[in-house]
Structure 1
């Protein structure tokens, strides 16, 4: 028999909520403590911590990946999003400037028997793909770490098919691209922002090529 009175007992659901909140707070602290761009592989374990509001479920709702599509991810980190999106599409291409990150993702994909991820070591300022290659593209907490976000967005617009979609996820750290700045960068790159999801400090934005 428990020595704790019912009124003092903590429900399991409440424990889970507090644990999730603790992980989120740890992730926030980890991001603020780092001021390097791109995020170094030596600290890759921090990239597996979930960030508040930038959830995989919310990404699914904005990206709307389809089984027949070829999708591009810029800056996959350790594969938190890659391993989730890849099973939903025909092929997922991942691009990073750090070979260690690509190797890490591919190792994890092999462990999970995911065979449709294609890694490419490249700079997001000059994507090595033909025009109109991808149905969709996304980058999560990566755009603000790239020196020239407008050039990167222009490259992403180029490799998207007509009517393609781009999802940008940004979290409030030293490198965050604020929503107003994203709208400006998008316009300069020939893109338009069709929607924001989440608060300004941790949002997903969906963009499309401008028609004019």
Structure 2
């Protein structure tokens, strides 16, 4: 009986977390447009997020390797950034671009705390990337694409900064208020000249990888 009571408590706690997450999701869905404001950044670290988007296994799908220069577009406060920095290694560079300066400030503090020296936070706009042409080997966006107001223009900018054959990875989750349908993402990227490399489905979402022309 004691085991059953413990199991019941665990299930109730998990259900409570799920309920809170769904309520937050609905509030965000109906109350905002654009990126999550810094005042709500704690949502990016929700206890259930590792179940939906585990850092390492998600990043491993993005096809970048040690020594690469990688662009993380929309890092927020750095849920993926620390692990991505470790994966590109000391010879690689991780460029972390977010439109909100407070997010960049929080991210910079996190990187200093974790002693990640190859990640470089910068404030900037996806519609006008502050990077040279053909300057990055890979770029990734995790539940960010739907927050960009002019997605075709952003795709054009990503195509510009990626080297020929560079990999663009887009990961979406149904838990995100700005979830983008698979067909719309595929069509958007193809219209910008990208070629589909891989498409994998996962818990409540998917990841697509594209090659730059």
Counterpart position of 1:30: 24
Counterpart position of 2:162: 160
Q: 1:164 to 1:201 in 2, by over 3 A?
A: same
| Number of equivalenced pairs | 203
Counterpart position of 1:67: 66
Q: Secondary structure at the match of 1:65?
A: coil
Query: What is the TM-score when the length of structure 1 is the normalising length?
Result: 0.85
Return the offset for 1:202.
1.6
Counterpart position of 1:46: 43
Return the offset for 1:24.
5.6
Alignment map for 1:133-172 (pairs within 5 Å) = 133-172=135-174
Return the offset for 1:191.
0.9
Return the offset for 1:59.
1.5
Counterpart position of 2:129: 127
- CA offsets 1:107-165 (integer angstroms, 9 cap, x no match): 01111111111122111011111111111110111110000111111211111111111
In structure 2, C-alpha distance between the alignment counterparts of 1:171 and 1:159, rounded to whole Å: 26
Counterpart position of 1:206: 209
Query: What is the TM-score when the length of structure 2 is the normalising length?
Result: 0.84
Kept in 2, the 8 Å contact 1:72–1:92? The answer is yes
